Structure 1
Amino acid sequence: MSLPSEKEEVFYFEEIPVQDEENDTTEKTYTLSACPATYDSNLPAKRGGATLTPVTSEGKTLLYLIGGANRAAEAFNDVHVFDYDKKRWTQASPQDNSAFEPRSGHTSIAIGACIYVFGGANLREGKVYNDLHILNTDTMEWTSPCADGDIPPPRSSHIAVALPQGMLIFGGSSPLVGGMNDTFLLTSKDGHFTWKSIASPEAATLAKRELHSACVLNNLVYICGGRLESGELCDELSILDTETWTWTIESMPAWRRCAHVSGVVHNQWLHFGGWDGGAEFCDDCWQLALDVRSSCCKAPMRQVELNGQGNGRFAHCGCVVDDKLVIFGGMTVQDDLNDTLILH
């Protein structure tokens, strides 16, 4: 079975020089395409707040969709696998799946063949998590290892990135403490897991936030967007140097966004969709050149509807494969989504 035929939406960007304003701008074009994916018995259920994590083995890339929830607060703990080469969805059946409780707003990162899942929330059950689960994609088995050290408080809507040292998490929120601006690093040695709180003098000035995004380039972690405790959107670009564990904070007043998807494509940090504080969810795309970081730039785009509907969405998930940002699901103002898009 297949989804409707592929249509495309084209985004035009201008990369603006930082220091020499008289230089000619360089036009870049990105295309948003509906992916005509096939599937076995059924597509993943409509949802937001899930994670989509790529794992590459023997030259083959599979994307793992984990968890999420719909607008009725029904949370999921299922795992679906997207074969990027075949553009095909298959539902997986991991061993001991009951150990991973249904949730949304968690994070997932891949280290080798294993996907590390941390935190999240189940609003219907009134639960917020700080547990660690690992899905071995070779054996399709869940494990839930204990970790010691500076264990992070429960949270959801945080970020996580994979570093050579381990998994880094930042921020998020919970009903008990509100927004957070703390940073933790999970390391592993001989099967033993340890959390370490990463503190620095600059950390106290970081805005507490949720629903933000992050990426890693070289030894730097970039964090932007998100929603503050006040309900306003964050205009801060926070950069963590993982060699010195020091922060640099820059302002991006022209761009505010939360619950969007982002990924690094050709050294450009692309951001798609989310909420900018308006009455509708966004269907636009912005880019930030990480090597110059002048500002997050938007340029005119030609609107083309995909699958008979607009593309504005919130709480979708995505990841980068072969310099393409693969996007799944999310929510509109009226409905939940389970479509697959590719931005390239």
Structure 2
Amino acid sequence: MSSKNEGGRKRKLSPTQQTNQQHKKPQICPMAESTSSNNGSSSSSPITRLPQDHLFSILLLLPTESVLCFAMTCKKLKSLAYSDSLWESICKRDWGQTPVDALKGSNHPLPWKKLYQQVYQLDSVCCHRLLADSPDGDKILPSPRASHSLNLVSGCLVLFGGGCEGGRHLDDTWVACIGNTSRRTLNWQKTNSGIPSGRFGHSCVVIDDSLVLFGGINDTGIRQNDTWVGQVTVHERLGITLSWRLLDIGSIEPPPRGAHAGCCIDNKRMLIHGGIGPSGVRLGDTWILDLSEDLYFGTWREIVARPSPPSRSGHTLTHIGEAQTILFGGRGMGYEVLNDVWILDASEGQWRWAQMVSELRNLPQRFPLPRVGHSANLIMGRQLLIYGGEDSYRNRKDDFWVLDISSLASVRLQPRNVNPNRIYRKMWKRVEPKGDKPNCRSFHGACVDDSGRYLYVYGGMVDGLIQPADSSGLRFDGESFVVELVL
């Protein structure tokens, strides 16, 4: 190959120059380029001549970075790529239908593109103390407690059980309708059912607008393995009622335990892991409860997978959708407090655990320190919000961390012949609290609303004045907070 020099003579190119010339790319993107015909009329690129609904469908198949790149090519694509209807659909795609419907009902002021951006740039939350009241004015309110359950079902907060001063358990159930999130008062109503029996360290999840409760420990140290279903009913005249009934589960059931972790999967199954067994030994087994459509029958089965997380208690399980569940923290067999993260994946029809390995440099700034008795909830944008807990020295925490797990939706574990301990790039970020900052606490109850924007917190163990008879300086808390994502 040759080329002409300035004098018009041919010059032979070196092999490297020939390769560079053959692979040289044009500087103008063909999609953005327009040409003029002989009669002076202009014609756009073929992709811009596609019907708008076809372009809309194409953009929804792309990651958000590619959508923004399309917006830079021409005015037509920019108008579509920045449209509010497209970004509403992107929010539905990445967050699910329920959060988007909840946001639409709240008349959020931001356009969907701006809201999407604000969610993933989240750097602060605003905390508001909720005043407690009772509807009849007699001031009968939930007593301070820890290791209880707090769930949001049918628009109501449901508080059950827990431990209190003196090592005693509680068997009471309290219900409060949250109503408008701008209201700062909870009207608690006690339901006198007498069942389930008193306990703390149990797990309770929401399935199909009902509660499913498993296990726990009573004040004599007895571990339970019974399964209960609770149904909330809101009456115009009678107020809120909640009825519990024992679930028929057949002959197979998990061993008794407390301080385990549980979550709901796909709004139809319950998953539990670990905890403290009858002999006081920490467990590392995983069980799943399949329920009948009417929630009158259930079947427990154990999930056996290797490798699996080490045995622990006081950890959290959070289902993130797409057949994936995140396990974080807890206390291990040697009483050490952990900060490892595991993902349970069932996307290929088989249950498999894999540890998400983190970069350990600059650990205090980039990664939450080990903790037990914390809460972990899936918030808006498919992110995990970690709050509170305590370390190995029982120093309680008041920090908020976000783990961005949105990219894990497309992650699929490798085949069996590949080491499943694959390195994942985790995106931990510390979020600063504003407003009525809660005290440092552990073993509290926490749950989110349908939008994933509001986190409700009740009770837990907090720092207290050291009394002569109580060298630990611990006390049980009875305050409620709502934590709002600042968008």
Q: Does 1:250 align with 2:353?
A: no
**3-state SS, counterpart of residue 235 of structure 1:** strand
Long gaps (5+) in structure 2: 1-119, 234-240, 361-366, 408-423, 465-474
Instruction: Tell me which residue corresponds to 1:228.
Output: 332
Instruction: Tell me which residue corresponds to 1:208.
Output: 311
RMSD: 2.3
**How far does residue 175 in structure 1 lie from its aligned partner after superposition?**
4.6
**3-state SS, counterpart of residue 406 of structure 2:** coil
Contact in 1 for aligned 2:123/2:432 (Cα 8 Å): no
Instruction: Tell me which residue corresponds to 1:342.
Output: 482
C-alpha separation in 2, matches of 1:315 and 1:222:
19
Higher strand share: 1
C-alpha separation in 2, matches of 1:250 and 1:125:
38
C-alpha separation in 2, matches of 1:27 and 1:64:
28
- Provide, for residues 292-315 of structure 1, a one-character-per-residue CA deviation record: whole Å limited to 9, x for no partner: 474463447477665xxx610111
C-alpha separation in 2, matches of 1:328 and 1:279:
19
Change (3 A) 1:302 1:129: closer
Amino acid at match of 2:428: C
Instruction: Tell me which residue corresponds to 2:402.
Output: 287
Indicate the larger mover: 275-284 or 151-160: 275-284
Q: How does 1:73-88 map to 2 (within 5 A)?
A: 73-85=167-179, 87-88=185-186
Which gives a bigger RCO, structure 1 or 2 (Cα 8 Å, sep 6+)?
A: 1
Instruction: Tell me which residue corresponds to 1:21.
Output: none
Q: Does 1:169 align with 2:294?
A: no
**3-state SS, counterpart of residue 338 of structure 2:** coil
**3-state SS, counterpart of residue 72 of structure 1:** helix
- Provide, for residues 251-277 of structure 1, a one-character-per-residue CA deviation record: whole Å limited to 9, x for no partner: 355431110122122222111111022
**How far does residue 202 in structure 1 lie from its aligned partner after superposition?**
2.2
**3-state SS, counterpart of residue 49 of structure 1:** coil
Amino acid at match of 2:175: V
| Correspondence for 2:461 among 325, 331, 339 | 331
Instruction: Tell me which residue corresponds to 1:15.
Output: none
Contact in 2 for aligned 1:261/1:318 (Cα 8 Å): yes
Instruction: Tell me which residue corresponds to 1:107.
Output: 203
| Correspondence for 1:125 among 211, 220, 223 | 220
Instruction: Tell me which residue corresponds to 1:320.
Output: 448
Amino acid at match of 1:131: D
Q: Does 1:31 align with 2:126?
A: yes
Q: Which runs of 4+ in 1 moved over 4 A?
A: 302-306
Q: Does 1:89 align with 2:219?
A: no
C-alpha separation in 1, matches of 2:272 and 2:346:
13
Question: How many residues in Structure 1 have an aligned counterpart in Structure 2?
Answer: 308
Change (3 A) 1:27 1:195: closer
| Correspondence for 1:264 among 378, 395, 403 | 378
TM-score normalised according to structure 1 size: 0.82
Q: Does 1:159 align with 2:261?
A: yes
**3-state SS, counterpart of residue 443 of structure 2:** coil
| Correspondence for 1:63 among 140, 147, 157 | 157
Residue identity over aligned pairs, in percent, reads 25
Indicate the larger mover: 147-156 or 100-109: 147-156
Higher helix share: 2
TM-score normalised according to structure 2 size: 0.59
- Larger of the two Rg values belongs to structure: 2
- Provide, for residues 18-67 of structure 1, a one-character-per-residue CA deviation record: whole Å limited to 9, x for no partner: xxxxxxx94622122212343333221000011011112xxxx1010011
C-alpha separation in 2, matches of 1:272 and 1:39:
28
**3-state SS, counterpart of residue 259 of structure 1:** coil
C-alpha separation in 2, matches of 1:158 and 1:288:
22
- Provide, for residues 94-130 of structure 1, a one-character-per-residue CA deviation record: whole Å limited to 9, x for no partner: 5xx33411000001111123211100001x3221100
Instruction: Tell me which residue corresponds to 1:3.
Output: none
